[in-house]
Structures are given as C-alpha cells and as structure tokens.
Amino acid sequence: MVSDVFKGFRKAKEISVSFLFTPYAKLIFYLNGVKFASNLTVHGFMKVIVTRRGNVIIGKNVVVNSGHNHNIIGRQQKTILWVEGLLTIGDNVGMSSTAIICNHSISIGNNVTIGGNSVIYDTDFHSLNPEIRINKAIDKLNAKSGKVTINDNVFIGAHSTILKGVTIGENSVVGACSVVTKDIPNNEIWAGNPAQFIKSLSI
C-alpha cells in the first residue's frame, strides 16, 4: 500500500514537471540564437552554450533526453550543446545524454539515433605539442579540428565517441562504447576502440 502511494506520487511529480522541459529548452534555444523547426520535444533540462561565432540549425521532430531521469541506462548527464562553429541537426533525430562540442563544423543528417552518453567532438581541444600546451593562450589555437559528418539513418550505440574529421555513411551502425577515429562507409557496422569494420548491412 505504501509502495503504491509512493509510486503514484513519483509518477505525478514526473508528469507535472515534464510540461516545463520543452518550453524551457525552446527559451534557451531562442536566447542562444538557435534556429529550430516544429515538433521539438525535450525531456529534462539541457545545457546549451552558443558563442557569438556559433550557429545551430535543428530540424523537425527532434527528440532530446537529458539527465538521469530520462532513458535510464547508466552514466547519465545533461545533454550538452557547446557550439563555436556550425552545428546542423536534421529531421527525426533522437539523442540521450549526448555531448556535442562543435568548434568547427558538425553535420547530423535525418533519422539519426544517438545512444545515451555518446559524445561528438570536432576538435582535439589541445595541441599535441607539450611545449604549446603549457601556454594556455595558444594551446587552443593550435588544436586540430575537422568537420564531422553523420549521414542519414545512422545509429550510434550508447557511450560511443565520435572524433574530429570523420564521416559516417548512410544507414551505418556504430556499436556501443566505440571510438570512431576514421570514416565509416555506407551500410556497414563498426565497433570497438578504435572502431573497426564488423560486417556489411543488407539494405
């Protein structure tokens, strides 16, 4: 009996708070200059930082899960968009507890699913030269960047890392916990650290 009351209270609380998430996200997007289309749905509170040089364009029917109460698969965090370059997200994209750090250019196509706790980086963040890294003022300027392109219908498994300069081809699948360091062709499954070819898909 007590358990039923507790569960009912918990559900009522979740429902009452859930109405705030999408309007709050839209407000944060608006204040950051993010262009977004219709039917945006956000569960949880996001962290969004778009610099003066940054631009973000988000397509239709995008669904975002953010935080430990949404898509509970472990290692949850807020979904984070930090953009100093150009980030484009297509239609029908879903992501959960995802961190996208766009220093240069990241393009995500249509019908893409990004599993929980995955991260996408288009920069090394730091120089590989230890002498340069000592000088914080020039360290970031010497970090290598490269456009990330994730094409239509890609599925990225949970806890994966997509690194700078890679292209993931249409319909391809990235296995959970993979680190993608080079291009993945269309219609293939890759997995591992670093991610390697597993098999072709029959499309």
Q: Where are the domains of the chain?
A: 21-200
When the pLDDT of each residue in the chain is averaged and rounded to a whole number, the result is 90
Q: Which CATH class is domain 21-200?
A: mainly beta
Known catalytic residue at 126: yes
Q: Among residues 43, 104, 126, 159, which one is catalytic?
A: 126
Contact 177, 158 (CB under 8 A): yes
Tens of pLDDT along 133-191? 898 888 887 888 899 999 999 999 999 999 999 999 999 999 999 999 999 999 999 99
The mean pLDDT value for 105-125 works out to 96
How would residue 49 be classed by pLDDT, with cut points 50, 70 and 90?
A: very high
How would residue 17 be classed by pLDDT, with cut points 50, 70 and 90?
A: low
pLDDT of residue 128: 85
Tens of pLDDT along 61-98? 999 999 776 676 666 689 999 999 999 999 999 999 99
E strand or H helix at 20, and its extent?
helix 2-31
Q: Strands 105-108 and 148-150, how do they pair?
A: parallel
Tokens, residue 2: 């007590």
